[in-house]
Amino acid sequence: MEHLTLGGGCFWCVEAVFDNVIGVIKAESGYMGGDETRANYEAVCSGTTGHAEVVQITFDPDQVDREELLDIFWVVHDPTTLNQQGADRGTQYRSVIYYANDEEKEIVEKSVLKAQAAFSAPVVTELSPLDTYFVAEGYHQSYFKNNPGQGYCNAVIPPKLEKLKSKFASLVK
């Protein structure tokens, strides 16, 4: 199994997308990239810790590869808006990809160049080495599955899932 850690706005939304991808064993909401030694939802939402809401994806590379997961990432969020996804604003909602080593960094950099061709505005996604990962509180895990009637989720997640299904049908569970 391999891992990929991404931030693309609210982690509920990113998690909901990748939970539906063949080969993804686990999509877990958490926090990464901050200066503090401890992270929790209240502190991260204050925008003062430097952490991003992220999803750590555990995947089987025999079923889906890192490049395919990155292709999905570029389609289901807007990597051209700095510290914002839709109505969610602040550094905790930034677009970010964390890499573990030089090989992963090279894959990510190539993916950014490929993605840039699809956007007229510059891609502002942060590329950073892996940092300390903090698992988000239990009530954030599988949030969309556990709260299907929640208004925010119903407004934001279904369009992302439709993009996933229409552009990556062969990768949808």
Please check whether residue 32 is in contact with residue 55, taking contact to mean a CB–CB distance below 8 angstroms: no
Does residue 10 carry a catalytic annotation? yes
Q: Which residues contact 110 (CB under 8 A, 6 or more apart)?
A: none
Helix (H) or strand (E) holding 128: strand 126-129
User: Among 10, 13, 45, 153, which one carries the catalytic annotation?
Assistant: 10
* In the chain, alpha helices (H): 11-18, 41-45, 66-76, 102-116, 143-146, 151-167
The catalytic site residues sit at 10
